Every structure is written in structure tokens, then in C-alpha cells.
């Protein structure tokens, strides 16, 4: 089942603190009969992107073949919606969810996908309309309550959001997404011990959950347990060597331990990551300059000004040659099945009419 998500980026504690408000792992059976997705497309997450996972694309291809021969296969349309949403392909996710609703107008899972799509697009009113149609704050569904909480975060209502995350977990203690969200919320307000408890509980269920490991490592480092934090960063990097969050935070830790050479090496790897934003690089170069000064003060030979300049030039050149993100490319085989001229735009899908009616009710 699909877990709703929204991304927040938090900073503090002298580290880059990620707040992937969802975990991202997935299980897809070989016949694509069942899909379970916990997703994030945050490039600063430690989790592998679904857009780069071949098993996800293979499942999408299988599901597309299914719906071509069985257009009323609601579950296959739903699974397609889940997977496209995980990839960040919002138009395709919306299309597939509406197809599912066309064959089952009361399908709650499809409405959850549509709510998530609206949330990702910043259409908070529409997201709220959809979650309210599923029970809203009074829902008994843990996923719906998680979505309600995420909308509250976007509306700058953190207290309500935390209450909804807790309520979501009361309904389903196994909802990893809501648990990660609650942990991140605690972390934002520097309730480190409470946050650590949530991330540790996630790791009991999913020991390889990279984002939970990263958050816990940041907390350990903030509390001065540098060796434990370093072990956790290394565990993350063993699975994803180029992860920028782990590299940067490990470099900060190594600077504090006076392991200047290792810190510089990790920052060099960080700068080679094509997904690193130019704005993020400012913190990295500031850290490199700080390490250079510390090296000079200790009398050791360290990175030179010319090396730093070369790093900056190479980073700028890399940004100029970066290719567009494939996540923005539409799957036209799915959403353009008919020529535009043959589509009867005067007859909307039933879900469109239902949403319009909900919107009118809200306005009234």
C-alpha cells in the first residue's frame, strides 16, 4: 500500500539534517499483483531513488501491459498509480488513480494517491478536500491521518501535525512513514531523545533503513557520541557511497575528530555528486576553508588554495553539463493512449465530477 509523503529540509546542530518524511523501500511481487511502496524523491535522502530502480520500472512495464488487455483491472491501475507517485511522475500517477476510480468510484486507495499528488503539487485545498472525503481527522485509517498531518505541516501548524502523526501511529504502529515523520518533527524542535526513540523503532523493523540511520547518527553526533555516529554514517555509505548527506555530516564529524584528510576526501566525493545543488555547495566550500585553516594551525600539510579553486571550477562545469532529471519526463505511452482530437473533453471522468462537487461544497 502506498504511504503518503512530503519532504521538508531542516538544518541545525551544525549538520545538514534531512527530513525525509517518509521511508523509501518497496516490495513488488513478480506478477505485480501486490505493490508496497514507501517513497521519497528527495535527492538529499539516503534512500535509493525509485526512478533508478530497475525492478520498479519492470513492474510498471508489466502493469501497463496488463491494463492494455484488461482496462477494468482496478488493482493494476492502483499499483501503477502507487509506483508512478513513488517516481515523482505526478501526471501519470493522477491518470492511473483516476482510471481506478472510473471503475470503482468509491475506491479509497485511489483517492489517497490523488491526495498525495495534490499535496506534492502544493494544491493544499484539493488535498484537504480529498482527505476530508476519506474521514479527515476523524479517519480510522493511519495513512489518511498521516496525510492530514502533512497538510498541517504545509499550513505551518506543527502542533496539529504532531498530534496527527501520533494518532496515525495509534491506529497503526507499523506505519513507518508516520513514525519517520514524528521523529523528524521531534528533531526539528530539538527533542533529540524523543526523536531517537522513533528512529530506533524504525530500525527495529527495517535495520537497513538508511534515512533512519542518518537521523540517528546526527543525534548521536550532537550528543557527543562520535564513534557511534561515525559507524552509522559508514553503514549508510557502504550502501550508497555518493550520498551527499552522509558524506557532509561525516566530514563535519571527522573535522571535529581532527581527521582532516578523511574529511576533505569525503567532501571531494560530495562535490562530484551531480544531484548536489549550487546552494548546498556553499556550505561545503565553507567547511573546506575551515578545515584548511585548522590544518595550517596544526602545522600539517593540507589542501591548498589552488586545489580549492580547482574543485570550485570543476563543480561549476559539472552544473553546466548536467542533464535534465528523467523524473520530469512523461510516460506518454500511458497518458496519451488516444489522439487529442478523439478525446471527449466535455465528459469528465466520474472522479473529476466528484472532486468538483466536493470543492463546491467547501466553498459554500
The per-residue b/e assignment along 329-355, b for 16 or more CB within 10 angstroms, e otherwise, is eebeebeeeeeeeeeeeeeeeebeebb
Strand intervals (E) in 117-238? none
Backbone phi, then psi, for 349, in 5-degree steps? Answer: -60, 150
Strand order in the sheet with 2-3: 2-3, 35-38, 25-28
Structure confidence by residue, pLDDT tens digits, 24-79: 333 333 343 444 443 333 344 555 555 556 678 888 889 999 998 888 889 999 99
Tell me the sheet residues that pair with 196: none
Whether the CB-CB separation of 290 and 264 falls below 8 Å is answered with no
Fold of the domain spanning 2-189+331-363? 1.25.40
Residue 200's pLDDT band, with cuts at 50, 70 and 90, is: very high
Closest C-alpha among 68, 75, 82, 102 to residue 38: 82
Three-state DSSP class for residue 104: coil
**Residues 69-118: pLDDT tens digits?**
888 889 999 999 989 988 889 999 999 999 999 988 889 999 999 999 99
- Quick one: pLDDT at residue 216? 94
Amino acid at each position: 500500500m502506498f504511504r503518503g509523503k512530503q519532504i521538508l529540509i531542516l538544518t541545525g546542530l551544525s549538520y545538514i539534517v534531512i527530513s525525509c518524511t517518509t521511508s523509501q523501500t518497496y516490495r513488488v511481487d513478480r506478477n505485480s499483483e501486490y505493490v508496497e511502496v514507501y517513497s521519497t524523491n528527495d535527492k538529499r535522502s539516503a534512500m535509493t531513488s525509485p526512478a533508478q530502480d530497475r525492478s520498479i520500472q519492470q513492474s510498471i512495464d508489466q502493469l501497463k501491459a496488463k491494463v492494455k488487455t484488461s482496462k477494468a483491472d482496478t488493482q493494476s491501475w492502483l499499483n501503477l498509480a502507487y509506483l508512478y507517485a513513488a517516481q515523482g511522475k505526478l501526471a501519470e500517477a493522477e491518470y492511473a488513480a483516476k482510471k481506478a476510480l472510473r471503475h470503482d468510484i468509491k475506491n479509497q486507495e485511489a483517492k489517497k494517491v490523488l491526495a498525495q499528488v495534490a499535496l506534492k503539487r502544493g494544491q493544499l485545498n484539493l488535498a484537504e478536500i480529498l482527505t476530508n472525503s476519506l474521514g479527515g481527522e476523524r479517519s480510522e485509517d493511519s495513512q489518511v491521518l498521516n496525510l492530514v498531518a502533512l497538510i498541517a505541516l504545509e499550513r505551518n501548524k506543527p502542533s496539529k501535525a504532531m498530534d496527527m502523526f501520533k494518532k496515525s501511529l495509534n491506529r497503526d504502529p507499523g506505519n513507518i512513514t508516520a513514525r519517520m515523520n514524528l521523529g523528524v518533527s521531534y528533531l526539528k524542535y530539538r527533542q533529540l531523545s524523543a526523536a531517537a526513540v522513533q528512529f530506533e523503532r524504525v530500525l527495529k523493523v527495517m535495520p537497513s533503513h538508511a534515512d533512519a540511520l542518518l537521523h540517528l547518527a546526527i543525534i548521536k553526533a550532537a550528543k557527543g557520541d562520535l564513534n557511534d555516529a561515525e559507524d552509522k554514517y559508514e553503514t549508510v555509505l557502504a550502501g550508497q557511497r555518493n550520498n551527499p548527506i552522509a558524506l557532509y555530516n561525516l566530514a563535519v564529524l571527522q573535522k571535529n575528530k581532527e581527521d582532516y584528510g578523511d574529511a576533505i576526501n569525503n567532501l571531494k566525493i560530495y562535490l562530484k555528486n551531480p544531484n548536489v545543488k549550487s546552494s548546498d555547495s556553499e556550505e561545503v566550500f565553507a567547511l573546506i576553508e575551515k578545515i584548511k585553516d585548522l590544518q595550517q594551525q596544526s602545522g600539517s600539510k593540507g589542501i591548498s588554495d589552488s586545489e580549492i579553486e580547482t574543485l570550485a571550477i570543476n563543480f561549476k562545469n559539472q552544473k553546466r553539463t548536467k542533464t535534465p532529471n528523467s523524473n520530469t519526463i512523461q510516460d506518454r505511452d500511458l497518458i496519451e493512449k488516444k489522439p487529442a482530437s478523439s478525446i471527449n473533453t466535455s465528459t469528465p471522468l466520474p472522479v473529476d465530477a466528484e472532486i468538483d462537487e466536493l470543492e463546491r461544497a467547501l466553498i459554500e
